Structure 1
Amino acid sequence: MELRQLYYFVRVAKREHVTKAAEELHVAQSAVSRQIHQLEEELGAKLFLQKGRNLQLTPVGMLFLKRAEVILADLERSVLEVQEFLDPEKGEIRLGFPHSLGFSLIPEVVSAFRKQNPNVKFRFKQGMYPSLIGDVVKGEVDLAFVSPCPEQHEHVTGQTVLTEELFAILPPNHRLAGEETIELLQLKDETFVLFSKGYSLRPIVWEACKEAGFTPNIGFEGEETDTIRGLVAAGMGVSLLPEMALYASGPLQPVKVSVHSPKVTRTIGLIYRSNEKLPLVAKVFQSFLLDFFSNKGLK
């Protein structure tokens, strides 16, 4: 069995299409098909079934995919460890984070770290809470910011590094737009614009509304903070967002108003794989982050 076969197999499994996988790999479609066929012959099992124009993993294929991803991730980490051993200042940090942190926090911490370590490279991966934890478990990222930090997990550990307030965001002409602070109950008759299911901010807002004494009327759902802000600014409803998700430019922006009774917050944790040594450069970055948040008094 060759590593090339594993690379090809994983790419086809992700794209569910030989031609698309071949295009991403910059090889001929026939080469990909041949390697997959040889892999199936060696395993003595079918890994894919044809489903229309796409391919679908068989139960054996799904099982093999999990193992193949672990093997390739371990290989990649091994290569990075060798590179770091030869030159610790030229390593690569693989960092995962939710979209809401990409506007200000990630650029800020990466910029500050790179001032001290200018030759370190970063590879970023954005995602939702479950996918980010999965990326850490599978070794696709070394560290990830998630909200909230999982209290108990078999394969992941970490610590809370940041607690931030969520603000109500309102259309510019909203009746409460001129207030400095409001009670959440004052929004009980409003239409809410929330994140789709699977995003960690959704249950935070939902539970806060329930605590305030009402169930939010959800009129629109989105998967990007830009979408949430834009719909609110256009008068489609109201929402709650953390301040770091409100950095934006443009003529159409919502109004930010502080909320009390209840005060709504979210916690952000920094996680990594349990019982596994971080690559040297990732360990240095982890220590930097803990000092960064401690010195800024954000924790």
Structure 2
Amino acid sequence: MELRQLYYFVKVAKKEHVTQAAEELHVAQSAVSRQIHQLEEELGVKLFLQKGRNLQLTPVGQLLYKRVEAVLKDLERTVQEIHEFHDPECGEIRLGFPHSLGIHLMPEVVSGFRKKHPNVKFRLKQGNYASIVKDVVSGETDLAFISPFPEGHEQVTGDILLTEELSAILPPNHPLAGEESIKLEQLKNEMFVLFSNGYSLRPIVLDACEKAGFEPKISFESEETDTIRGLVAAGMGVSLLPDMALFQTKQLQPARVRIRDPKVLRQIGLIRRADHKLSPVATVFYNFLIQYFDTYNHKQS
């Protein structure tokens, strides 16, 4: 079994088409077909079945694909780490984060780090809570910001970076829009605009409403912070968002009001694989973030 065969196999499995795989690999279609055929002969199994114009993995092909893809990712990462040991300043950091941190936090920390380490590259990936944890566990990302912090998770470890408040956001003409602070129960008759299932801010809001004695009526659900802010600003409901997601980027903005009872908080953490040592460049970035948020929290207190 040759490494080239495994590369070709994974590419065909992803594209579900020999011609498309060959084009992406910049080799002849016959070369790809030959390598796949030789791999099947060596293993004594059929890896693909024809399905119309496309190819479909057989059950044993799916098993091989899952294992081989993980091996190739580890190999690719190992080669990268070897280069980084030679020069950590030219490495790449694969960083995951939730949508609510993409407006202000991500650009600020990446920009701050790049000022000190201008040659380091970033590969950024947004996602919901489950996908962020999954990407760290699988090695798809090196580090990830996450909220809430996954306490007790056996496969990831990390640090809590900060705790921030959630504020109520209201249409600009809402009767409570001019208040300095409100009790959450004052919004019990309002329609809410919330994140969709799978996003960590949703259960935080639902739990806060339960503590305030009501179940929110949901008018809209979204996967994007900007969409939620825009819908609220347009009068389609109210919501709760963390301060970090409320930096103004557009003219149409909702009113922001503090919630004094109950206090609604979220923790933001930084996670990595528990059984995996970070690369030199990722370690430098990790230490930068710990120091960055230590300074940030002192300023806020």
TM-score (norm 2): 0.89
Show the counterpart of 1:100.
100
Show the counterpart of 2:291.
291
Alignment of 1:161 with 2:161, yes or no, is: yes
Show the counterpart of 1:186.
186
The Cα offsets for residues 166-208 of structure 1, whole Å up to 9 and x where unpaired, read as 1111111112111111111111111111111111111111111
Show the counterpart of 2:246.
246
- The answer to whether the 8 A contact 1:77-1:279 is kept is no
What is the CA–CA distance in structure 2 between the aligned matches of 1:295 and 1:222, rounded to whole Å? Answer: 33
Q: Percent identity?
A: 71
Matched AA of 1:280 = P
Show the counterpart of 1:137.
137
SS in 2 for 1:296: helix
Structure 1 residue 135: deviation in Å?
1.0
What is the CA–CA distance in structure 2 between the aligned matches of 1:199 and 1:15, rounded to whole Å? Answer: 30
Over the aligned positions, Cα root-mean-square deviation in angstroms equals 2.5
The Cα offsets for residues 27-55 of structure 1, whole Å up to 9 and x where unpaired, read as 66666565555544443344455667766
Gaps of 5+ in 1: none
- The answer to whether the 8 A contact 1:73-1:138 is kept is no
Flag the 1:235–1:74 CA change in 2: closer, same or farther, 3 A: same
What is the CA–CA distance in structure 2 between the aligned matches of 1:54 and 1:232, rounded to whole Å? Answer: 45
What is the CA–CA distance in structure 1 between the aligned matches of 2:26 and 2:223, rounded to whole Å? Answer: 31
After TM superposition, the structure 1 stretch with the greater mean CA deviation from structure 2, 54-63 or 173-182, is 54-63
Matched AA of 2:276 = E
After TM superposition, the structure 1 stretch with the greater mean CA deviation from structure 2, 84-93 or 242-251, is 242-251
What is the CA–CA distance in structure 2 between the aligned matches of 1:98 and 1:137, rounded to whole Å? Answer: 16
Structure 1 residue 13: deviation in Å?
4.5
Alignment of 1:260 with 2:260, yes or no, is: yes
The Cα offsets for residues 82-125 of structure 1, whole Å up to 9 and x where unpaired, read as 11122122111111111111111111111111121122111111
Show the counterpart of 1:171.
171
Flag the 1:242–1:86 CA change in 2: closer, same or farther, 3 A: same
Gaps of 5+ in 2: none
Structure 1 residue 72: deviation in Å?
1.7
What is the CA–CA distance in structure 2 between the aligned matches of 1:224 and 1:155, rounded to whole Å? Answer: 28
What is the CA–CA distance in structure 1 between the aligned matches of 2:145 and 2:66, rounded to whole Å? Answer: 23
Matched AA of 1:180 = E
What is the CA–CA distance in structure 2 between the aligned matches of 1:200 and 1:166, rounded to whole Å? Answer: 13
Aligned pairs for 1:6-21 (under 5 A) are 6-14=6-14
TM-score (norm 1): 0.89
Alignment of 1:128 with 2:128, yes or no, is: yes
The Cα offsets for residues 136-193 of structure 1, whole Å up to 9 and x where unpaired, read as 1111111111111111222211111111111111111112111111111111111111
What is the CA–CA distance in structure 2 between the aligned matches of 1:101 and 1:89, rounded to whole Å? Answer: 25
What is the CA–CA distance in structure 1 between the aligned matches of 2:56 and 2:253, rounded to whole Å? Answer: 43
Flag the 1:192–1:7 CA change in 2: closer, same or farther, 3 A: farther
What is the CA–CA distance in structure 1 between the aligned matches of 2:22 and 2:8, rounded to whole Å? Answer: 8
Alignment of 1:79 with 2:79, yes or no, is: yes
Structure 1 residue 129: deviation in Å?
1.2
Flag the 1:90–1:261 CA change in 2: closer, same or farther, 3 A: same
